[in-house]
Structure 1
Amino acid sequence: MSETALRDLNAIPGSEKKNESSSKGSITKPLAGNANENQEECQKKATAALGALSINGAEVANTGVEIGIAEVEYIESENLNDLEDVDTSLKTLVTGLESKDWVLLCEALNNVRRFSIFHKEAMLDMLGDVISLVVRSLKNPRSAVCKTAIMTSADIFNAYNDLVVDSLDPLLLQLLLKSSQDKRFVCEAAERALVAMTTWVSPPLLLPKLQPYLKNKNPRVRAKASMCFCRSVPRLV
């Protein structure tokens, strides 16, 4: 039987054997190439999609090796809960505001807001240092930190009124700049903070601080300063 099979194989013309061999050899190579290309393409699309994601306060950092995702919730002042441990929170407040971990930094900023609302006397002695650190957070390139710092500024104005005047200059500049930028949710938060400022800081103290910005080279800053000026002047009466 094996001799018959051998004779049949030898009887096949050489060209047919060559075609059969070449067709068998060509089956796997294109499939392997397509699989690799498809895998690389999927990886590129996934990396691009995750690298560009920034929705509703979700910040995505793509380091090229790993991708971390975290969310910060923007809590309105009336929805903030009181501090569980006032003494411990006060001792760790400055450390939190100096943190390089942006999630911890946002939590520390929210604690400043809680102190302003529920325990403003406890933070009074360190108010100047706290405002300086809030200003630093306003300069943070991460939008979640920036917006939380803006909301913190509004609560500080509400709680401490004229007591903020000695530390107001750098804070006022950053709020005017943030209210003049293109990121809508940051801009709107900064405008609300400026309204709080003109509501709670006395005009005789505030107007001299605003006056230099009426001639600022940035037309948007001039416009925002003018609006603050106009809101504050009627309160002189």
Structure 2
Amino acid sequence: MMSETALRDLNTLPSSDRKNESSSKGSFAKPFVGSANENVDVSLVSTHVNGNQTGNAGPGIANSEVEYIDSENLIDVEDIDTSLKTLIAGLDSKDWVVVCEALNNVRRLSIFHKEAMLDILGDVIPLVVKSLKNPRSAVCKTAIMTAADIFSAYNDRMIDLLDPLLVQLLLKSSQDKRFVCEAAEKALVAMTTWVSPILLLPKLQPYLKNRNPRIRAKASMCFSRSVPRLVRVLKVLKNMALTN
């Protein structure tokens, strides 16, 4: 059952992302890298002086391109234990570059060490949802890609954590910023591919009557992809019953 907060989120499309925020001169934080073509968010990287995050500065600071790493191009983390210990703090950081790095570590752990992260998945998901709500498109899209990898890795094991992710992905897939919208649609495809339809369909059903027509449309597409999978499962079960 959706909370009132989730319903408010669902019925309010997100505002356009803030762009080109200024930052002070100093040594740049480690850049967030990946593969991209047109899917690049050109934003100023957070800067630090003597280890402290700086405030706003005047014009003239060079831009940094933020790119996105496809799942198949991700490499394993260097140290599993260190990655796990620093993961929550990284996801909850106020530095958006650190958050993006932590999100990519969630993706790496989901792909290469999913059992190791299973115990903290309940703490990870709310922070991924927080990043999905982030007005900076680099953080938002990386969080969307993270959600897709989580669906692929954990399948039905994350069904109890699905609702807040589903709300945000339906919202993001319904907004006007194309590259965020397309990423969210891919994540929804991953969800319908990896989560059992018998568990997923009840989660989708309330959104089919949502007041927002875009939300209804996206939910209907997910529903239509899940129903044939359910039919195939039922046929297999029927054949097994007849065989026995």
Q: Structure 1: 5+ residue runs without aligned partners? A: 1-49
- Structure 1 residues 177 and 151: alpha-carbon distance in aligned structure 2, compared to 1, 3 A threshold: same
Equivalent position to 1:77, from 71, 78, 81:
71
- Structure 2, unpaired ranges of 5+: 1-19, 23-38, 46-54, 232-244
1:96 aligns with 2:90: yes
Distance 1:146 1:181 in 2: 12
Q: TM-score, normalised by structure 2?
A: 0.73
Q: Which amino acid aligns with 2:58?
A: V
Q: Tell me which residue corresponds to 2:175.
A: 181
Is the 8 Å Cα contact of residues 151 and 189 (structure 1) preserved in structure 2? yes
Identity value in percent: 77
1:58 lines up with 2:58 in the alignment: no
**Distance change in 2, residues 1:166/1:51 (3 Å):** closer
**Residue in structure 1 matched with residue 234 of structure 2 by the alignment:** none
CA contact 2:21–2:43 (8 Å) conserved in 1: no
Helix, strand or coil: the match of 2:111? helix
Is residue 72–residue 103 contact of structure 1 (8 Å, CA) maintained in 2?
no
Secondary structure of the corresponding residue to residue 92 of structure 1:
helix
Aligned partner of 1:192 in structure 2 is: 186
User: Equivalences for 1:1-237 in 2 at 5 Å?
Assistant: 56-60=40-44, 63=56, 65=58, 67=61, 69-237=63-231
Alignment partners' CA distance in 1, 2:87 and 2:21: 32
CA RMSD of superposed structures (Å): 2.0
For residues 44-83 of structure 1, the C-alpha deviation after alignment (integer angstroms, 9 at most, x for no partner) is xxxxxx779xx82221389453546333220000000100
Deviations 1:184-231 (A, max 9, x none): 000000000000000000011100100000011110000000000000
Secondary structure, aligned partner of 2:64: strand
> Does the 8 Å CA contact 1:157/1:201 hold for their aligned counterparts?
yes
> How does the TM-score come out when normalised to structure 1?
0.75
